[in-house]
């Protein structure tokens, strides 16, 4: 039981390059999330998916796109990377029940640098 698997762990991009961060969970959770974590700031929600086939913007969606490919997988794409997107990215999942976030499970994070 791997939990939430996130790849890659590290990535360096040049401004304007594109890339996709992959995330998969094996806990049959409905809800999946992408966050970014920057120094001095709390985790901020980029996009989330409440169920397969649905996605919604979070606090900081600009410059990102997501795909909920199936119940297991939720990918985050940077179409044209910018230095402001240098950050640590976390994928998470939870079994949303009764409007509450149940226990959250996080991936190990991706450290992304955009030069």
Partner 1 sequence: KNEVEQSPQNLTAQEGEFITINCSYSVGISALHWLQQHPGGGIVSLFMLSSGKKKHGRLIATINIQEKHSSLHITASHPRDSAVYICAANIRSGGSNYKLTFGKGTLLTVNP
Q: Using the structure block, give the residue that is written with the tokens 């994928």.
A: 91
Q: Going residue by residue from 49 to 88, which x/- string records binding to partner 1, judged by CB under 8 A?
A: ---------x------------------------------
Q: Tell whether residue 107 is a contact of partner 1 (CB under 8 A).
A: yes
Q: Tell whether residue 41 is a contact of partner 1 (CB under 8 A).
A: yes
Are the beta carbons of 77 and 85 closer than 8 angstroms?
no
Q: Which of 43, 55, 63, 95 binds partner 1 (CB under 8 A)?
A: 43
Nearest to 60 by CA among 34, 40, 80, 83: 34
Q: Tell whether residue 104 is a contact of partner 1 (CB under 8 A).
A: yes
The residue among 14 and 98 lying less far from partner 1, judged by its C-beta, is 98
Q: Which of 70, 80, 108, 113 binds partner 1 (CB under 8 A)?
A: 108
Q: How far is the CB of 4 from partner 1 (least distance, A)?
A: 9
One DSSP character per residue, 38-104 reads -TTS--EEEEEESSTT--EE-S--TTEEEEE-SSSBEEEEESS--GGG-EEEEEEEE--BTTB----
């Amino acid at each position: 039981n791997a939990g939430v698997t996130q790849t890659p762990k590290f990535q360096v991009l040049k401004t304007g390059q594109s890339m996709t961060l992959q995330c998969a969970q094996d806990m049959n959770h409905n809800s999946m999330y992408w966050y970014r974590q920057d120094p001095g700031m709390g985790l901020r929600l980029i996009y989330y998916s409440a169920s397969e086939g649905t996605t919604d913007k979070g606090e900081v969606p600009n410059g990102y796109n997501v795909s909920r490919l199936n119940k297991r997988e939720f990918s985050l794409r940077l179409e044209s990377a910018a230095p402001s997107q240098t950050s640590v990215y976390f994928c998470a999942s939870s079994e949303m029940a009764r409007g509450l976030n149940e226990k959250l499970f996080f991936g190990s994070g991706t450290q992304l640098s955009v030069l």
